[in-house]
Amino acid sequence: MNRNPIISPLLIIALTLLLTSVGCAQRVEFQVTDHTLNRIDPRLFGHFMEIASWGEPGPDAIADPETGELPNEIIEKLDLLNAPLVRFPGGGDIPYTDWTHRIDRAPPRGLPARPVVTPQDNPASQPLNNRFGYDEFFRLSEQLGWEPMLVVNLYDGVLGGVDLETAARHAAGQVAYCNTPLGQQLPQGMIDWPAIRAANGRHEPYRVKHWQIGNEIFVFLRRFFATDPSRAEIDAMGDRIADAVVVYADAMRAVDPDIRIILDHGMRDKDMARRVWSDPRVAQRVDRLTVHHYQPWRIRTLSTDGGATEVEAEDVGLIRLWYSWVTMPSFYDSEGQTLAIQPEKIAEIQKAGYGVVLTEWNWNGWGKGTEIDVPLCFLGRGLGAAGYLHGMMRQGGDIDFATQSMMLGVSWQLSGVFMDLETGKSWIHPTALATSLYSRNHGDRRLETRAVSEIPQVTQDLHVNKIRMQPSLALIDSVVTRDDENLYIHVINRSFDVALEVVWRLDGLVLRRGSAVLRRMVANEEPLAETDAAQILDDDVVVDHEDRFGDVVPARSVTVYVLPLEAD
């Protein structure tokens, strides 16, 4: 492991550019008013507990073989995430799985053990033991205060060879198992799922409100598009999907009319997707469309000169790699501050009459450059995730809620809480640590905040894959929120090595002088493993002035200042 920048001619040129861009340490100033720009829903800081047969069994690999329960050490770390909302259990396997495999006593199986199944017919798919099922998930949700969200299998009713009415009734059966009280009348011919739930030890319904019909529909359409369908065939497939969504939604709401339904916004072909969710029948039944966003995925190429010259990571050096890592996500507003979803995509969804949710997101990447300094890369991922969070808070008036992938794992670096099965040690990766920091420290509304001085910029000429990188990256990114008692200043310092003084001047807000608190994510000085790269430190700060606050923000850090407000 090499923690020192790799010197090369390209790096010397890069350092010259960077030093020219950043200059010496300078004061950055923001003006903050008490004008509310949008709400901050705590559900923006949700998580997605996925179980993926193609490489990440997650809780299935950790759960007790007899009880299905997770170890206390893992539960304690999950609790630290402070997740308000958790999506479960998939994911890419949902089109190829039967929800009854994750409960006991499902007919016709009855009491025998839950089946071990391999959901997908591809070489990467491994058997799932279904050890951590729905009842185990719901018990954990109640213990930790999570609002659950589930996903149902749409593939069966579209391309899976199951009669549409039968597939929809099976999905509605899952709603009945979760939500219907014992003894309540069910649709004709439906299995008495509440009685099975009671036999499994739960008499009261779980009352799951949010249900997604299908997951990443574009995935199960791959084989269809591999046949090079005509435009007419694509349109017909869109109509087929719309028909299925209508039948599913009606069947599910016949069991529980109060559920809220979510559908994919993207479906591989943009015109086909619009055909589905612009169908008035779908619009009448579906409440929200979801966007999924990951970056940078597998890093195959690094390039400069606007993408014209491919370079090797060893010739680039750590500093330029660092700035490529913290640039994610690659959506920015006119002032160079991060956004979570492209504004035009939000506008399209809202124009169609739907709410917007982000049910899968994260800094997700591997490949070229990420292995040169693993701890530094993981810390950079954490700052990138904080950029996503700033974007969500900026767009909090448009995004209803979000769930970060993946909450718990034993294999993928994407995981939030990670357990090493060989050593038995566990830790929280920086991406989830950033979300935990913000989930525990934020207000309920975002305040108008604007820079009144130049924000130091760094030239970003290293392109990752074909992602359109921000050419000039703001080193300081700040969002300010408040509630009735405190002002919360959220600030990212993306600089590789320069601490920056930042001052926030207040208009219409009065700070209480005296002691306040800062909570900061920085590099972990005593890591359990290379990827255990960040820690959160608490410290006291002193508020000297009623109308402003300032501090020197360290390089490579994410900070929240919790500053008490004087009563109105």
Query: Residue ranges per domain, the chain?
Result: 38-447
First to last CA, the chain: 54
Note whether 224 and 269 are within 8 A (CB).
Answer: no
**Amino acid 335: pLDDT:** 74
CA dihedral for 221, 226, 231, 236, sign (positive or negative):
negative
| CA–CA gap between residue 47 and residue 446 (Å, rounded) | 22
**Amino acid 35: pLDDT:** 98
The position carrying tokens 């006991």 is 104
Tokens of 101: 């495999």
Class of domain 38-447 as given by CATH = alpha beta
Residue 72: CB atoms within 10 Å = 8
Nearest to 518 by CA among 504, 536, 505: 536
Residue 415: CB atoms within 10 Å = 23
| CA–CA gap between residue 96 and residue 114 (Å, rounded) | 16
- At residue 288, the 3 state secondary structure works out as strand
Q: What is the 3-state secondary structure (H, E, C) of 374-404?
A: HHHHHHHHHHHHHHHHHHHHHCCCCEEEEEE
Note whether 56 and 412 are within 8 A (CB).
Answer: yes
The string of DSSP codes covering 205-263 is: -----EEEESS-HHHHTHHHHHT---HHHHHHHHHHHHHHHHHHHHHHHHH-TT-EEEE
For residue 184, the Cα-to-chain-centroid distance in whole angstroms is 36
| CA–CA gap between residue 224 and residue 236 (Å, rounded) | 12
| CA–CA gap between residue 339 and residue 392 (Å, rounded) | 7
Note whether 456 and 475 are within 8 A (CB).
Answer: yes
For residue 206, the Cα-to-chain-centroid distance in whole angstroms is 24
**Nearest-5° angle of CA 253, CA 257, CA 261?**
65
The string of DSSP codes covering 19-44 is: HHHH-S--EEEEEEEEEEEEE--GGG
| CA–CA gap between residue 397 and residue 198 (Å, rounded) | 40
561 strand-pairing partners? 489, 518
**Amino acid 16: pLDDT:** 39
Whole-angstrom CA distances from 512 to 170, 317, 507, 546 are 57, 45, 14, 6
pLDDT tens per residue across all 568 residues of the chain: 333 333 344 443 444 344 434 444 579 999 999 999 999 999 999 999 999 999 999 999 999 999 999 999 999 999 999 999 999 999 999 999 999 999 999 998 887 789 999 988 777 889 999 999 999 999 999 999 999 999 999 999 999 999 999 999 999 999 999 999 999 999 999 999 999 999 999 999 999 999 999 999 999 999 999 999 999 999 999 999 999 999 999 999 999 999 999 999 999 999 999 999 999 999 999 999 999 999 999 999 999 988 889 999 999 889 999 999 998 888 888 777 899 999 999 999 999 999 999 999 999 999 999 999 999 999 999 999 999 999 999 999 999 999 999 999 999 999 999 999 999 999 999 999 999 999 999 999 999 999 999 999 998 888 899 887 888 889 999 999 999 999 999 999 999 999 999 999 999 999 999 999 999 999 999 999 999 999 999 999 999 999 999 999 999 999 999 999 998 7
**Amino acid 25: pLDDT:** 55
Which residue type does 372 have? Answer: I
Which residue type does 88 have? Answer: F
**Nearest-5° angle of CA 460, CA 466, CA 468?**
45
Q: What is the 3-state secondary structure (H, E, C) of 43-60?
A: HHHEEECCCECCCECCHH
The Cβ-side half-sphere exposure at 539, using a 13 Å CA radius, reads 11
Tokens of 465: 């894959």
| CA–CA gap between residue 207 and residue 209 (Å, rounded) | 6
| CA–CA gap between residue 551 and residue 42 (Å, rounded) | 27
Which residue type does 250 have? Answer: D
Note whether 426 and 418 are within 8 A (CB).
Answer: yes
Nearest to 296 by CA among 365, 379, 361: 365
| CA–CA gap between residue 59 and residue 75 (Å, rounded) | 11
**Amino acid 1: pLDDT:** 34
User: Which value, to the nearest 10 degrees, does the dihedral of the CA atoms of residues 91, 94, 100, 102 take?
Assistant: -30
